[in-house]
Amino acid sequence: MALVNENYLKLPEYYVFNEIEQKINAHKVIHPEANVIRLGQGDVSRPLPDAVIRAMQGAVAELADVKTFRGYGPETGYRFLIEKILKYDYQSRGVSLSADEIFISDGSKSDVGNIGHIFGRDNIIAITDPVYPVYENAAIMGGRSGYLNDDDLWSNIVYIPCTEKNGFVPQLPDEKVDIIYLCYPNNPTGIALTKEQLKMWVDYALENKAIIIYDGAYTAYIQEDNIPHSIYEIKGAKKCAIEIRSYSKTAGFTGLRCSYTVVPKDIIGYTMYGEVLRVNGLWNRRVTTYYNGTSYVVQRGAEAMYSKEGQKQYKEIIDYYMTNAAIIRSELTSLGLDVYGGVNSPNIWVKTPYKKDSWRFFQELLYDAEVVCIPGDGFGKLGAGFFRFTGFNSRENTEEAMRRFKKWMG
Ligand code: MLT
């Protein structure tokens, strides 16, 4: 008799992005002529930069030739890409890392979910509320969340409130936590942390021997000066932070899949007996055992982003999405709505009008205006009463969605 992992039975009823897809599909079945505009899930709409396409075409040609063909690559990534990351993403910001601290992967969602595998089950985990749901879901599936208490909260998870009152800036917890998930610029609120705000968390982690998992999927959208692009810009972070970065939102790789995770060798974890272990070694073992590497073609594509023309082209794409975000921000603000984010992030976090329930708001917006948002409580209890738009659709669709939204709001 095969027993299943019963932790799966403890998961929340739905995974928000999947639930939304189903609701859109149901709407299209009833209204086959529907012209639904998606400002919901953050999927990109601009084609890949030309430099990326050309690099991948070159790589495909190499694979077609017996002299340059390649089979398995290094599990942790090709040196050519890792060196570009070290130079352009880190050295350029005064951060020195070594090649064996970088692990190339197939998207930050995988690593964000898998990283828990190298940590014990009894850690107290801190996540913000609202939050990208994968952090909590992965903890539940991996049996790391503890038990569900009477308040419907997990005993091993400390929820850090991010509300209008604190400007969506997470404050340090009163209790001691061991693993801290932070995502900045934030998904879903679109808020970025300043160096001082992030330093507070790094100092906490160092003092409490905690580890921060820092999700920097939206780093490329940072516009303001005092916003760190990497947690390693904060002194001491190399001793306590794992950083996960993605090419999905940066250069349109949502379909291609490529990301990387930085696990500095200075980070240590402990066994129950107090023995000290380097977390880098554990992650290396995990990656080399479970993964055969991101494809050569895709890594060549990612490498091309760092070329002169690649950088210019992807920055143009980011400007395009950020202009969309600015349009959404200004249109919704002009309607008198409370609007957050959209300045260092393509995510815009908005209070539902008339204190409407988020899911009800989502349904009405879909049925009446055929515009898709993400209901805030898909990101946690404190997301209730909010919704999220993104700037990732085309300019035409973004403008049309705003026209419909304004007409709908009447
Ligand atoms: C989002 O819209 O929050 C993201 O696209 C979801 C994801 O990356 O899985």
Question: How would you classify the pairing of strands 241-246 and 259-262?
Answer: antiparallel
Note the pLDDT of residue 354: 86
What atom of ligand 1 comes closest to residue 17's alpha carbon? 6
With helix as H, strand as E and coil as C, how does the chain read?
CCCCCHHHHHCCCCCHHHHHHHHHHHHHHHCCCCCCEECCCCCCCCCCCHHHHHHHHHHHHHHCCCCCCCCCCCCCCCHHHHHHHHHHHHHHHCCCCCHHHEEEECCHHHHHHHHHHHCCCCCCEEEEECCCCHHHHHHHHCCCCCCECCCCCECCEEEEECCCCCCCCCCCCCCCCCEEEEECCCCCCCCCCCHHHHHHHHHHHHHHCCEEEEECCCHHHCCCCCCCCCHHHCCCHHHCEEEEEECHHHHCCCCCCCEEEECCCCCEEECCCCCEEEHHHHHHHHHHHHCCCCCHHHHHHHHHCCCHHHHHHHHHHHHHHHHHHHHHHHHHHHCCCCEEECCCCCEEEEECHHHCCHHHHHHHHHHHHCEECEEHHHHCHHHCCEEEEECCCCHHHHHHHHHHHHHHHC
Backbone angles phi, psi at 348, to 5 degrees: -125, 125
- The response to whether residue 42 sits with its C-beta less than 6 Å from ligand 1 reads yes
Q: What is the pTM of this model?
A: 0.96
Tokens of 341: 């984010």
CA distances from 53 to 89, 300, 303 (A): 21, 9, 11
Instruction: Output the CA 42–ligand 1 centroid distance in Å.
Output: 5
Number of Cβ within a 10 Å radius of residue 386: 25
With a 6 Å cutoff on the Cβ, whether 187 touches ligand 1 is yes
Counting ligand 1 atoms within 8 A of each CB, the residue from 136, 187, 389, 393 with the most, and so the one to mutate, is 187
CA of 62 to the centre of ligand 1 (A): 33
Q: What angle do CA 389, 395, 399 make, to 5 degrees?
A: 70
**Ligand 1 proximity of 249 Cβ (cutoff 6 Å):** no
Looking at the CA of residue 390, tell me the nearest atom of ligand 1.
2
Q: 104 - beta bridge partners? A: 260
**pLDDT given at position 12:** 87
Tokens of 274: 């107090």
- Closest residue by Cα to atom 5, ligand 1, is 42
| Residue 150, pLDDT score | 87
User: What is the position in ligand 1's atom list of the atom closest to the CA of 246?
Assistant: 8
Report the distance separating Cα 346 and Cα 326, nearest Å: 9
- Distances, alpha carbon 119 to alpha carbons 44, 93, 263, 314, in Å: 33, 30, 13, 35
What spacing in Å lies between the alpha carbon of 21 and ligand 1's midpoint?
A: 13
Query: How far apart are the CA of 40 and the centre of ligand 1, in A?
Result: 9
Whether the CB of 194 sits within 6 Å of ligand 1:
no
- Ligand 1 atom at minimum distance from 42 CA: 2
Phi/psi of residue 211, each to 5°?
A: -120, 135
Among 15, 18, 21, 41, which residue has the most ligand 1 atoms within 8 Å of its CB, making it the best to mutate? 41
Q: Which atom of ligand 1 is nearest to the CA of 41?
A: 2
Residue among 108, 112, 132 to mutate when testing ligand 1 (max atoms within 8 A of CB): 132
71: its two tokens: 């089979």
**Residue range 82-117, pLDDT digits in tens:** 999 999 999 999 999 999 999 999 999 999 999 999
Instruction: Give the list of residues 6+ apart from residue 159 with CB closer than 8 angstroms, or none.
Output: 126, 127, 128, 129, 153, 380, 381, 382
For each successive 10 residues of the chain (410 residues), what is the average pLDDT? Answer: 96 91 95 95 95 98 98 98 98 98 97 96 97 96 94 94 98 97 98 98 98 98 97 98 97 96 98 96 98 98 98 98 98 97 98 93 97 96 97 98 95
Whether 158 and 126 have beta carbons less than 8 Å apart is answered as yes
**Residue 277 Cα to ligand 1 middle (Å):** 33
With a 6 Å cutoff on the Cβ, whether 109 touches ligand 1 is yes
Q: pLDDT tens-digit profile of 273-304?
A: 999 999 999 999 999 999 999 999 999 999 99
Contact present, 233 and 93 (Cβ < 8 Å): yes
* Per-residue model confidence (pLDDT) at position 151: 85
Helices 395-409 & 308-334, crossing angle to 10 degrees?
Answer: 10
Distance 41 CA to ligand 1 centre (A): 6
Does ligand 1 have an atom closer than 6 angstroms to the CB of 41?
yes
